[in-house]
């Protein structure tokens, strides 16, 4: 059981805002740090009056240092996210994911924070050698993003060995759900849904037979909470649904949720995109009691409804 004083970096972002909503609803004392470059204050509209919001950047050590006194747990979600973004902006990717994480860790060490739960990525694995992917799968990232997230993991775990700081690294696969907005660098689900709502043809890079393991944001939130509540647990864990579908199947499901005719075009495969993805989540289930509960059809229907309402505003 964690005490009620926590920090959420990147708390105005997609996953962070959903985590903050859960924490506030369960009476945690929450401080959110976000520079709002990719996060949005509107994501915190329902919780803003019940938290401490700091507009700031994790690359600013003095700011982070000032916030850590008496903190029990850090949920570290602030990041530069995405393979394509990291290829376009590799220096920024490294500054945020590596130096920013070091700032958080140094401040945590200084003030004896009990635990850090950091958001990692399946991008650390690179092109897959076996399916399903367990935590011992060879690590060979294909992009700066995968490399910096791996460095972030290693930094957190090394601090857990050197100091009195527990560190759990959650390797997210393809997360989707409410508050996830259209972003050309983002997840395929919000891009496809945005295009369908706005009558824009869907572009698939490759033949569409590539597979992905999609996990709902509510399940990711519980993974974070369970990881923080775990007693003397440090390590890296896959966070996914444990099931995969092809991109073509995804388009078929999304098409079934609308009366619109969905147009699809196929383009060349992009550099850095893996062909198949499917997670073994047994280690997370054993160590942090992670059991995803949202089925894909249910989650997609919920997200389609949220996005349809959001883009009408």
Domain ranges of the chain: 5-178+214-242+276-293
Q: How many CB atoms lie within 10 A of CB 304?
A: 19
**What digits encode the pLDDT tens for the residues 70-97?**
999 999 999 988 877 888 899 999 999 9
**What digits encode the pLDDT tens for the residues 178-216?**
999 997 656 899 999 999 999 999 999 999 999 999 999
Q: How far apart are CA 29 and CA 7, in angstroms?
A: 8
Position 44 pLDDT exceeds 90: yes
145 is catalytic: yes
**What is the spatial order of strands in the sheet that 29-34 belongs to?**
52-55, 29-34, 5-9, 73-76, 115-121, 166-172, 235-239
- Kindly state the percentage of the chain with pLDDT values over 90: 86
DSSP SS3 for 214: strand
Q: How far apart are CA 7 and CA 52, in angstroms?
A: 9
pLDDT at site 184: 61
Position 222 confidence tier, pLDDT thresholds 50, 70, 90: very high
**What digits encode the pLDDT tens for the residues 106-159?**
999 999 999 999 999 999 998 888 899 999 999 999 899 999 999 999 999 999
pLDDT at site 82: 80
- In the set 145, 159, 176, 194, the catalytic residue is 145
* Distance in angstroms between the alpha carbons of the first and the last residue of the chain: 40
Position 2 pLDDT exceeds 70: no
Give the mean model confidence (pLDDT) for residues 50-63: 97
Q: How far apart are CA 313 and CA 311, in angstroms?
A: 5
Instruction: Look up the pTM and report it.
Output: 0.94
Q: What's the mean pLDDT when you consider all of the chain? A: 94
CB-CB contact of 148 with 92 (8 Å): no
Position 243 pLDDT exceeds 70: yes
CB-CB contact of 149 with 123 (8 Å): yes
What token pair was written down for 37? 């470059």
Q: At the top level of CATH, which class does the domain 5-178+214-242+276-293 belong to?
A: alpha beta
Q: Helix 188-197 crosses helix 247-256 at what angle (to 10 degrees)?
A: 40
């Amino acid at each position: 059981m964690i005490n009620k004083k926590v920090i959420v970096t990147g708390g105005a972002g997609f996953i962070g805002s959903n985590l903050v909503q859960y924490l506030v609803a369960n009476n945690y004392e929450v401080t959110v740090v976000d520079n709002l470059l990719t996060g949005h204050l509107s994501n915190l509209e329902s919780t803003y009056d019940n938290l401490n919001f700091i507009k700031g950047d994790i690359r600013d050590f003095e700011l982070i240092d000032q916030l850590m006194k008496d903190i029990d747990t850090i949920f570290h979600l602030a990041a530069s996210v995405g393979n394509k973004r990291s290829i376009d902006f590799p220096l920024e990717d490294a500054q945020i994911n590596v130096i920013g994480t070091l700032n958080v860790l140094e401040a945590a060490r200084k003030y004896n924070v009990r635990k850090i739960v950091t958001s990692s990525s399946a991008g650390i694995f690179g092109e897959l050698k076996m399916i399903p992917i367990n935590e011992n799968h060879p690590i060979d990232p294909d992009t700066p993003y995968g490399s910096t997230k791996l460095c972030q993991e290693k930094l957190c775990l090394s601090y857990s060995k050197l100091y009195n700081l527990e560190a759990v690294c959650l390797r997210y696969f393809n997360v989707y759900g409410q508050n996830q907005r259209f972003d050309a660098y983002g997840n395929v689900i919000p891009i496809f849904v945005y295009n369908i709502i706005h009558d824009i043809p869907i572009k698939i890079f490759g033949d569409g037979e590539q597979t992905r393991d999609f996990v709902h944001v509510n399940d990711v939130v519980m993974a974070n909470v369970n990881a923080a509540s775990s007693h003397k647990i440090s390590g890296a864990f896959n966070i996914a649904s444990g099931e995969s579908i092809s991109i073509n199947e995804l388009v078929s499901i999304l098409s079934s949720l609308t009366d619109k005719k969905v147009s699809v075009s196929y383009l060349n495969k992009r550099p850095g995109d893996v062909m198949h993805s499917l997670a073994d989540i047994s280690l997370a289930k054993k160590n942090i009691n992670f059991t995803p509960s949202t089925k894909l059809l249910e989650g997609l229907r919920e997200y389609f409804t949220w996005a349809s309402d959001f883009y009408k505003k």
